[in-house]
C-alpha cells in the first residue's frame, strides 16, 4: 500500500501507468485520451479500478487535466457568508442547522453581513459566497434585498449566492414563477449560483439523505433556468455516505448532459462527506466518509467523464485537508477553490481542516506539487499568474502536519 506521505505513486508517468493497466480499463482510458465521451458502462469499469488500474485512472485523468487547462492551479479570493443556521429541512447529513430556539441559533443582521463583505474586500476578496439555512418565517424578499444591499455598498463585488434549494424556497415564499424569481435575483445583483444541494442526483438516495429536500427534477429545473437567463453555476456531488459508485456515474453523466445543452457550469466540485457530527452516520445509514483512494478516484472519474465539457475540477480543501487536496490536484483537478475567510457548514459536520487560508498559503501549497498558482475570478478569468514566489508565500505547516496524520492508505477503497 502507498500512503499519502509516500511520493512514489506521484513519480510514475501516465505512459507507464497506462501500460500496466488491465485490457478493460486500458480500452476505456484509450478512448478518453482520444477525446471521446465515455458512457455509463465505461464509468462503472473505472469505478471498479484497484491497484495498477486505479493508478492508471488517476494518471490518465491528470494527463487530460494537463491537456485541457495546463499546469496552472487556480484559486479565488473569496469570503463565505452563512447568514443563518436556522433551518426547517432536517437533512440527516448536516451538522450545521439549528432550530429557531436553539441556544446557538443565529441570523446575522444585514449590517453585520455588509461589514463582513467590506472586510473581505479589504483583504482582497473579489467574491462572496452566500448560503444559509431555511427559516420557517423567512420573508420571501430577503434574498433579493440582501443582494441589493451588498451591491449598493460594494458594486464591484461578485455575488455567488443561493443554492437551488434556497431558490426553490424563495419561489415558494414569494409565489413567483421560477424564471421571474431568478430574473429578480439577477436584477438585484446575483452573479452566479452555487450548484450545491445536489448531493447525489438520484431521488432514492436523496430520500435517505433528506426526504424534505428538493427532488432531482427541481434541482435540474433551477440550474437549467438559471443558465438560460445567463446566470452561470458551479456543479457539485457529495460522496462517501449512502451512495454507490454507479450513483457517481449517473450523477456525472447528468451534469454532462446539462452542460452540453447550456454550457453554464463553470466547474465541478466533488464534496467528500464529513460524517462525525451527522445524524446520518450516527444512525448507521452512512459509511464514515471516503478513503484516500476513493477521494482520488472520484476526482479522476470526474475529469474522465466530464472531459471536453466541464474543464475545471475543483478540490475542497476544507473537506480533504491540504495534503488530500494536493493529491487530488494530481488526479485530474486543477482548481484549489477559495480562501473562504470563514466556513461554518463543513466545520459543523466535523471537519477540522480550518475555516480560512490566505492567498499566500494557497500559492505556497500549489508550488509543492510543481505547479504554477494563478488567482482567478468566479468565472475563471485569470487575474494574475504568480510565476515566482513572493514573501507572502508561507506553508501552513502546523495544519499540514495535523492533516497528514489523518491520511488513509492508498489501497483502502471501500464502497
Phi, psi angles (nearest 5°) of residue 252? -65, -40
Domains of the chain: 67-405 (3.20.20.70)
- Please state the rounded mean pLDDT for residues 143-165: 98
- Please state the rounded mean pLDDT for residues 100-113: 90
- Does residue 148 register a pLDDT over 50? yes
- pLDDT given for residue 90 in this prediction: 64
- pLDDT given for residue 341 in this prediction: 84
All cell numbers assigned to 118: 467590506
Distance CA 210, CA 222 (A): 18
- pLDDT given for residue 1 in this prediction: 42
Phi, psi angles (nearest 5°) of residue 68? -80, -45
- Please state the rounded mean pLDDT for residues 96-109: 83
- Please state the rounded mean pLDDT for residues 169-195: 98
Q: Which residues contact 223 (CB under 8 A, 6 or more apart)?
A: 164, 195, 233, 235, 258, 262, 264
Distance CA 313, CA 269 (A): 6
For the chain, the average pLDDT equals 90
What are the strands of the beta sheet with 158-161, ordered from one edge? 78-82, 127-131, 158-161, 190-192
Distance CA 108, CA 92 (A): 24
- Please state the rounded mean pLDDT for residues 42-59: 95
Distance CA 314, CA 182 (A): 26
The closest of 180, 186, 196, 184 to 133, measured between CA atoms, is: 196
Distance CA 279, CA 275 (A): 9
- pLDDT given for residue 6 in this prediction: 61
Amino acid at each position: 500500500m502507498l500512503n499519502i506521505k509516500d511520493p512514489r505513486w506521484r513519480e510514475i508517468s501516465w505512459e507507464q501507468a497506462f501500460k500496466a493497466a488491465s485490457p478493460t480499463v486500458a480500452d476505456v482510458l484509450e478512448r478518453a485520451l482520444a477525446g471521446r465521451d465515455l458512457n455509463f458502462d465505461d464509468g462503472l469499469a473505472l469505478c471498479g479500478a484497484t491497484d495498477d488500474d486505479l493508478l492508471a485512472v488517476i494518471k490518465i485523468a491528470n494527463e487530460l487535466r494537463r491537456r485541457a487547462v495546463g499546469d496552472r492551479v487556480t484559486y479565488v479570493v473569496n469570503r463565505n457568508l452563512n447568514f443563518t443556521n436556522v433551518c426547517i429541512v432536517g437533512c440527516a447529513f448536516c451538522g450545521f442547522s439549528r432550530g429557531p430556539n436553539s441556544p446557538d441559533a443565529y441570523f446575522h443582521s444585514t449590517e453585520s453581513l455588509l461589514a463582513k463583505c467590506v472586510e473581505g474586500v479589504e483583504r482582497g476578496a473579489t467574491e462572496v459566497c452566500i448560503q444559509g439555512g431555511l427559516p420557517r418565517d423567512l420573508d420571501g424578499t430577503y434574498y433579493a434585498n440582501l443582494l441589493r444591499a451588498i451591491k449598493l455598498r460594494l458594486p464591484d463585488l461578485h455575488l455567488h449566492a443561493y443554492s437551488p434549494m434556497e431558490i426553490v424556497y424563495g419561489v415558494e415564499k414569494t409565489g413567483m414563477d421560477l424564471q421571474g424569481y431568478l430574473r429578480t435575483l439577477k436584477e438585484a445583483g446575483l452573479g452566479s449560483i452555487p450548484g450545491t444541494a445536489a448531493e447525489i442526483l438520484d431521488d432514492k438516495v436523496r430520500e435517505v439523505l433528506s426526504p424534505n429536500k428538493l427532488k432531482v427534477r427541481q434541482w435540474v429545473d433551477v440550474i437549467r433556468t438559471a443558465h438560460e437567463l445567463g446566470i452561470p453555476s458551479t456543479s457539485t456531488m457529495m460522496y462517501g455516505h449512502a451512495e454507490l459508485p454507479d450513483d457517481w456515474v449517473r450523477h456525472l453523466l447528468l451534469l454532462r448532459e446539462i452542460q452540453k445543452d447550456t454550457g453554464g457550469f463553470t466547474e465541478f466540485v466533488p464534496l467528500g462527506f464529513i460524517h462525525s457530527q451527522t445524524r446520518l452516520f450516527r444512525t448507521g445509514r452512512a459509511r464514515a466518509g471516503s478513503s484516500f483512494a476513493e477521494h482520488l478516484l472520484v476526482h479522476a472519474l470526474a475529469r474522465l467523464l466530464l472531459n471536453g465539457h466541464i474543464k475545471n475540477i475543483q478540490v475542497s480543501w476544507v473537506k480533504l485537508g491540504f495534503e488530500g487536496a494536493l493529491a487530488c490536484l494530481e488526479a485530474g483537478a486543477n482548481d484549489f477553490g477559495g480562501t473562504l475567510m470563514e466556513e461554518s457548514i463543513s466545520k459543523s459536520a466535523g471537519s477540522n481542516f480550518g475555516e480560512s487560508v490566505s492567498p499566500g498559503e494557497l500559492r505556497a501549497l500549489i508550488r509543492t506539487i510543481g505547479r504554477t498558482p494563478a488567482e482567478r475570478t468566479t468565472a475563471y478569468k485569470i487575474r494574475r499568474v504568480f510565476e515566482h514566489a513572493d514573501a507572502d508565500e508561507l506553508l501552513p505547516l502546523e495544519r499540514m502536519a495535523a492533516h497528514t496524520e489523518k491520511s488513509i492508505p492508498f489501497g483502502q477503497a471501500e464502497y
